[in-house]
Structure 1
Amino acid sequence: MASTSIAIAYDCLYPFTTGGGERQYRGFAEALVDEGRRVDYLTARQWDDQSPAATERFRVVPVTGRLNLHDADGVRRTPAALAFAWGLFRALVRRRRAYDAVIVSGLPVLNVFAARAALAGSGTKIVVDYLEVWGRRQWIEYAGRMTGGLAWMLQRLAIAVTPIATCHSQLTARRLRSEGLRSEPLVSPGLIDAGPATDRVSPAARPPYVVYAGRHIPDKRVESLPAAVESARKRVPDLRLVILGNGPSTPAVAQATHGRDWITMPGFVSEDRLHELMGEAACLVNPSRREGYGLVVVEASAYGTPVVLVADEGNAATELITADTNGFVASSADADDLADAIVRAVEGGLPLRARTREWYEDAVRTRTITRTVGNILTALDRAHPDSSRGTVDDRKETAA
Structure 2
Amino acid sequence: MHIRSPAIDVLFVNWRDVTHPEGGGSERYVHRMAEGLAAVGLRVSLFCAAHERAPARETMGGVSVVRRGGRLSVYPRALLHVLRHRPRLVVDVQNGLPFGSTLGTRRPVVVLVHHVHREQWPIVFGRLGGAIGWWIESVLAPLLYRRSRYVTVSTATAEELAGLGITSDRLDVVRNGTEPAPEVAVGRSPEPRLVVLGRLVPHKRVEHALEVVARLRDRWPGLRLSVVGEGWWDEQLRAHARALGVTDLVDFLGYVDEQGKHQELARSWVHLCPSVKEGWGLVVTEAGAQRVPTVGYRSAGGLRESVVDGRTGVLVDDLDEMVEAVDRLLMDAAARARMGEAAARHAAAYSWPASISRFAGVLATAVRESAPVAVVQDVDRTLLALLRRAAVRVDGSLHTENGSDPERRSTAESDENSDERLHSGTLFLGERRRSVTVEGNVVADNTAPTIVPSAHA
TM-score range, shorter chain: 0.7 to 0.9
User: Matched residue of 2:349: which SS?
Assistant: helix
What is the CA–CA distance in structure 1 between the aligned matches of 2:52 and 2:314, rounded to whole Å? 40
Tell me whether 1:179 sits opposite 2:164 in the alignment.
Answer: yes
Q: Distance in 1 between matches of 2:172 and 2:154?
A: 6
What's the offset of the Cα at 1:278?
A: 0.9
In structure 2, what is the Cα distance between the partners aligned to 1:198 and 1:325? 24
Does 1:318 find its partner at 2:304? yes
- Checking the alignment, whether the CA contact within 8 Å between 2:91 and 2:110 is kept in structure 1 is yes
d(CA) in 1 for partners of 2:63, 2:226: 37
User: Shift in Å at residue 321 of structure 1?
Assistant: 0.9
Structure with higher RCO (Cα < 8 A, 6+ apart)? 1
The match for 2:114 is 131
**Counterpart residue identity of residue 242, structure 1:** S
Structure 1 counterpart of 2:91, one-letter code: I
**How far is the alpha carbon of 1:35 from its aligned partner?**
3.3
Q: Identity of counterpart residues, as a percentage?
A: 22
Alignment match of 2:141 (pick from 144, 155, 158): 158
User: Which of 92, 96, 104 is 1:104 aligned to?
Assistant: 92
Matched, 1:116 2:108: no
1:373 is matched with which residue: 359, 367, 370? Answer: 359
Q: Which residue of 2 aligns with 1:76?
A: none
Unaligned runs of 5+ in 1: 70-79, 392-400
Whether 1:144 aligns to 2:102 is no
Q: 1:388 maps to which residue? A: 380
The answer as to whether partners of 1:173 and 1:185 remain within 8 angstroms in 2 is no
Q: CA deviation at 1:145?
A: 3.8
SS at match of 1:42: strand
Question: Is 1:344 matched with 2:328?
Answer: yes
The whole-number CA distance in structure 2 between the counterparts of 1:12 and 1:307 is 27
Number of the residue aligned with 1:396 = none
1:29 counterpart SS class: helix
Pairwise CA RMSD: 2.9
Number of aligned residues: 361
How far the C-alpha of 1:360 sits from its partner, in A, is: 1.6
Q: How far apart are 1:41 and its partner, in Å?
A: 1.1
Q: Give the TM-score of the pair, scaled to structure 2.
A: 0.71
Any runs of at least 4 consecutive aligned residues in structure 1 with deviations exceeding 6 A, and if so which? Answer: none
Question: Contact (CA 8 Å) 2:178, 2:285: kept in 1 or not?
Answer: no
TM-fit CA distance, 1:94: 1.6
Amino acid at match of 1:257: A
For structure 2, which runs of at least 5 residues remain unmatched after alignment? 1-6, 384-457
Work out the CA distance in 1 between the residues paired with 2:329 and 2:229: 22
CA distance in structure 1 between the aligned counterparts of 2:201 and 2:62, rounded to whole angstroms: 33
Q: C-alpha offsets along residues 328-367 of structure 1, whole Å, 9 cap, x if unaligned?
A: 1122123xx21221133332233332222111222338x9
Which deviates further from its counterpart, 4-13 or 239-248?
Answer: 239-248
Change in CA separation of 1:148 and 1:226 when aligned onto 2, cut-off 3 Å: closer
1:170 equivalenced with 2:155 (yes/no): yes
Q: 1:184 to 1:198 in 2, by over 3 A?
A: farther
Residue in 1 that maps onto 2:228: 244
Is 1:30 the counterpart of 2:16? The answer is: no
SS in structure 1 opposite 2:319?
Answer: coil
Q: Which residue of 2 aligns with 1:361?
A: 348
Shift of 1:159: 1.3
Q: Return the offset for 1:185.
A: 4.6
Contact in 1 for aligned 2:182/2:259 (Cα 8 Å): no
CA deviations on 1:172-224 (whole Å, 9 max, x unpaired) are 21221211224535333411152243499x96320120011222222122122
TM-score normalised to the size of structure 1?
0.80
Q: Which amino acid aligns with 1:7?
A: L
Deviations 1:285-317 (A, max 9, x none): 1211111221111111111111110222x4422
Task: Give SS of 1:144's match.
Answer: helix
